Structure 1
Amino acid sequence: MARLRVAAALEDERKRDLELQQNGGPSTSSINKSCSSSVYGHGSPAFEKNSSCGRHCHHSHLDDGLCGRFMRRKLLGQHANNSLGRQNDPYDSYRLNGNSNAVIEDGNEADLYSLQMDMPIKVLNGSPGYINILDGLNAWQLVSELAEATGQPAAASFKHVSPAGAAIGVPLNDTEAQSLMVADLSIDPRRPSLASALARARGADRMSCFGDFIALSQKCDEITARLISREISDGVIAPDYDDQALSMLAKKKNGNYIILRIDPKNLPAEDEVRTIFGLKLKQKRNAAALSTDSFTDVAVGDGGEITAETVDDLLVACVAVKYTQSDAVCFAYRGQVIGMGAGQQSRLNCTRLAGEKAANWWLRQHPRILSLPWRANVRRAEKANIIDAIVAGIRVDDTSSMSLLQPNSIAKNAATEATERQWNNYFATSVKALKGKERMFGAKFVVTPSGGANDDEVCEACEHNDMVLVHTTQRSTLR
């Protein structure tokens, strides 16, 4: 375990400290010497007077790594948490899972800082880990941008810093509700809802979303919390929670379920900085927002085929790709991701992976799958595992798996018996389209950045396969 320090440092204090240094003020080493507890004993008037050095150092040396925490511990010792704790300080401190190979000692803890007046996130329950924070912040960006672009509630399921699924709240039909295992919930089938968005997002790839981190674009209501409460998930981030929803979620995982609240009005700085092997990399944050106007450059096909529903699906695919580790390919249909290929070195393998997941999504709606005769009290995760094996063409005849089904039932391979249908799903990629090969997965619309060396070949392939190709000027490459 490591400890993550979530700190909000006041900007005016930072500026004051910089001015002090520029005017020849004391360095961190001189502060250490002059305020050391070896000079001023703990509890002495002199120490109490100078203990503010620790506070000031913590505010002003965020860019210098661990100086602030070192000084605070040296000066305040066992009183550090009381003096700079949650009640009287603008900081919140939480225990997190960090690098398991790190030696836990002074100067070897994970830290997250913000130079804003207030920390934009608040831990309401649980102890988030390093990856939890990464998943939560990236997932929040996805759902907030998607909700803004479509005007509908949005949800995302993140796993290992990429979305396993993302969706807007398109109402569920009966088949979808049954396939997504939410037919027993009172989700309104007539209007968009947050619960529909979450059911779609987590139903995109039930294998990958196991133990995910969830993001919601709006206040979590009771029915959405009920949906979350019965899934295997590590945490959730949302702008707010109903009292009933918060109470329900706080009981999950024996009271350890991670619940984060984020300020939806928070606007981060333009620059993003990361440190790799001691070197700092800085670039402008990808703040380019997608909208309905992003798909007007139709390079191939009839632009009249692009309906309002099509635009929503294209937005889902493109926004999801924006927050997916490159190379990334996404299939979307009816307001949700149905196949995501993430973090692959080969574009071809990336497309295959996304296409296979999309095929899996379709086959899970096959009547033979929906009518599998489960025994009573079979867990949802067990159902998902067996269904995934069946639609992938894997024989399910081992004793442990068959024991979950009613006696004398035969779990046939639905993939070989599925009737052929036209799949009007939609395809988006963060790299160049693969010369129209996506048609093998039933893609009808392709969105890809223009300006590539193979643009002419891609256009010819789309014409040959009767696909609509839309060019965008935005290229999203997430590393």
Structure 2
Amino acid sequence: MRLRYGMNPHQTPATWEPVEAGTAPLRVISGLPSYVNLLDAIGGWQLVHEAALAFDRPAAASFKHVSPAGAAVAGPIDPAMAAAYRLSPSGVGALTGAYARARDADPKSSYGDFVAVSHPVDLELADFLRGVVSDGIIAPGFEPGVVAALAAKKSGRFLILEANPSFTPPPVEVREVYGLRLTQPVDAGLPALSGDLLLGAVITRYTQSNSVVYVRDGMALGVGAGQQSRIDCTALAGAKVDTWWLRRHPSVPTPSPDRLHDRVNAQLAAAAAVPDPASWLARLDGVAFVSDGALPFADNVAEARRHGVSSIAEPGGSTRSAEIAAECRRRGVELIQTGRRLFRH
């Protein structure tokens, strides 16, 4: 089947086909996908499907460039989210709420995202998506009237994909790169974690390495992806956490522009100008932190603690794992060394 183009627009023709004839993880309902659209859709669907099964709640992810900008399970909509997205905190459906929570982790990066949700799209979510800038969606189904409402986005170019929840992937992954064929077993199973640490592990599994994720109350607050240095990754994601928390400062006014991205930008500008930000940032606590690879130095613990982290899950097994454990004890941070790496490339 034809793709709009490959990784880049000049890479044509490009195609896709199921590995096994008659069995595919998704089907195209509307639009023409590109190579990256499919990578985002596949990664996003696996993340939300896995999270929904783990938590028995609807889950959503906002994907950009093959990594989640944010991900969340259904939960409460706080006043800052309600103001940015013009939602009623007490009257939002679970699926719409899950996506609003996912997009709110890093709304600037989610501009033009690919949406993934774990449950069939209802009219409420479709109406919400009509007001956001995104490229497409993958879901396991669509209620009556939803496809027609979404297909009109982007002058008919909005991509709508239907996931197959019963699809089981082949046990071996195959990738051909520069004349080489690479094979490996599918990465299945998760570390023995619970709560926000478990959600963080699900998110890191589908984030380009090196990756770390900060999670609180069932939603990502900051995702660091694709960094060669883990401390840079920890600091980058931590800066997103700070921005998320500063948007909740009492001095940040309710944004008034009509368009969503203008309201978000107004909120971000106000957050950057809050008085005495250090004292407000010091009030954030109860954040979980998950690293896809072993923390190589104790500076990662110190940096994570600066952003409200009270629990850390990482594989352990590095030459300095004892130092990591000692630093966590010194700073009052719970540490779980899982023995399982979650690299994704």
Asked if Structure 1 and Structure 2 have the same fold, meaning a TM-score greater than 0.5 normalized by the shorter chain, the answer is yes
Q: Distance in 1 between matches of 2:115 and 2:153?
A: 14
Taking structure 2 as the reference length, the TM-score comes to 0.92
The residue number in structure 2 matching 1:334 is: 217
Q: Distance in 1 between matches of 2:161 and 2:90?
A: 25
Q: How does 1:266-345 map to 2 (within 5 A)?
A: 266-290=167-191, 294-295=192-193, 311-345=194-228
> What RMSD in Å do the two structures reach over aligned CA positions?
2.1
Assess, with a 3 A threshold, how the Cα gap between structure 1 residues 120 and 215 changes in structure 2: closer, same or farther.
same
Say whether the 8 Å CA contact 1:366–1:418 is kept in structure 2.
yes
The residue number in structure 1 matching 2:292 is: 430
Q: How does 1:345-360 map to 2 (within 5 A)?
A: 345-360=228-243
* Aligned partner (choices 388, 391, 405) of residue 268 of structure 2: 388
Say whether the 8 Å CA contact 2:84–2:264 is kept in structure 1.
no
Q: Please give the secondary structure, in 2, of the residue aligned with 1:368.
A: coil
The residue number in structure 2 matching 1:234 is: 135
Q: Please give the secondary structure, in 1, of the residue aligned with 2:115.
A: strand
Q: Distance in 1 between matches of 2:328 and 2:84?
A: 32
Assess, with a 3 A threshold, how the Cα gap between structure 1 residues 243 and 413 changes in structure 2: closer, same or farther.
farther
Assess, with a 3 A threshold, how the Cα gap between structure 1 residues 232 and 379 changes in structure 2: closer, same or farther.
same
Q: Distance in 1 between matches of 2:305 and 2:280?
A: 18
Q: Please give the secondary structure, in 2, of the residue aligned with 1:338.
A: strand
Aligned AA (1:144): H
The residue number in structure 1 matching 2:336 is: 470
Say whether the 8 Å CA contact 1:270–1:285 is kept in structure 2.
yes
Q: Please give the secondary structure, in 2, of the residue aligned with 1:260.
A: strand
Q: Distance in 2 between matches of 1:109 and 1:428?
A: 36
Q: Distance in 2 between matches of 1:153 and 1:247?
A: 23
* Aligned partner (choices 10, 15, 24) of residue 101 of structure 1: 10
Relative contact order, CA 8 A, sep 6+: which one is greater?
2
Say whether the 8 Å CA contact 2:246–2:281 is kept in structure 1.
no
Q: Please give the secondary structure, in 2, of the residue aligned with 1:427.
A: strand
Q: Distance in 1 between matches of 2:45 and 2:218?
A: 18
Aligned AA (1:457): E
**Structure richer in helix, relative to its length:** 1
Taking structure 1 as the reference length, the TM-score comes to 0.67
Q: Distance in 1 between matches of 2:64 and 2:32?
A: 17
Q: Rg: which structure is higher?
A: 1
Q: Please give the secondary structure, in 2, of the residue aligned with 1:209.
A: coil
* Aligned partner (choices 170, 195, 214) of residue 75 of structure 2: 170
Deviation of the 1:229 alpha carbon: 1.5
Q: Please give the secondary structure, in 2, of the residue aligned with 1:331.
A: strand
- What is the count of residue pairs matched by the alignment? 340
Say whether the 8 Å CA contact 2:246–2:272 is kept in structure 1.
no
Assess, with a 3 A threshold, how the Cα gap between structure 1 residues 453 and 184 changes in structure 2: closer, same or farther.
closer
Deviation of the 1:463 alpha carbon: 0.5
Q: Please give the secondary structure, in 1, of the residue aligned with 2:258.
A: coil
Q: Distance in 2 between matches of 1:272 and 1:414?
A: 51
* Aligned partner (choices 102, 106, 122) of residue 27 of structure 2: 122
Deviation of the 1:452 alpha carbon: 1.8
Say whether the 8 Å CA contact 2:3–2:14 is kept in structure 1.
no
Aligned AA (2:35): Y
The residue number in structure 2 matching 1:15 is: none
- Please list every run of at least 4 consecutive aligned residues from structure 1 whose deviation after the TM superposition is greater than 4 angstroms: none
The residue number in structure 2 matching 1:457 is: 323
Assess, with a 3 A threshold, how the Cα gap between structure 1 residues 354 and 232 changes in structure 2: closer, same or farther.
same
Deviation of the 1:420 alpha carbon: 4.2
Q: Distance in 1 between matches of 2:281 and 2:242?
A: 13
Unpaired stretches in structure 1, ≥5 consecutive residues: 6-93, 296-310, 394-411
Q: Distance in 2 between matches of 1:215 and 1:416?
A: 35
Aligned AA (1:349): D
Say whether the 8 Å CA contact 2:253–2:270 is kept in structure 1.
no
Q: Please give the secondary structure, in 2, of the residue aligned with 1:243.
A: coil
Assess, with a 3 A threshold, how the Cα gap between structure 1 residues 413 and 133 changes in structure 2: closer, same or farther.
farther
Question: Sequence identity, in percent?
Answer: 35
Say whether the 8 Å CA contact 1:366–1:414 is kept in structure 2.
no
Q: Distance in 2 between matches of 1:174 and 1:425?
A: 19
